[in-house]
Amino acid sequence: MLVLSRKLGEKIYIGENVCITVVDIDRGKIRLGIEAPRDVPIYRQELLPSKGGEPVSPEDTTSVVIQ
């Protein structure tokens, strides 16, 4: 596991087309903005089944599309 320290507004790039930005830090919580192509799936850990590693089907989750 790679562990990085970032300050508010700083970015991390994964490959050439995924960018993660620290957008807010408040009382021990951080908010991350993720920019990625639409064909790159992004899942929160709690939406993945406990075994098998396959994500829950999109019909079983609530998704938000940000324009």
Q: For the segment 8-61, what is each residue's pLDDT rounded down to a tens digit?
A: 999 999 999 999 999 999 998 999 999 999 999 999 998 887 766 565 665 555
Angle ∠(28,33,39) on CA atoms, nearest 5 = 140
DSSP H stretches of helix in 1-67: none
Q: What is the pLDDT of residue 66?
A: 54
* pLDDT confidence bin for 67, thresholds 50/70/90: very low
Q: What is the pLDDT of residue 48?
A: 84
Q: What is the pLDDT of residue 53?
A: 55
Q: Domain residues of the chain, as ranges? A: 11-60
- How far is it, in rounded angstroms, from Cα 58 to Cα 21? 25
* pLDDT confidence bin for 4, thresholds 50/70/90: very high
Angle ∠(60,62,67) on CA atoms, nearest 5 = 140
Maximum pairwise Cα distance, the chain: 36
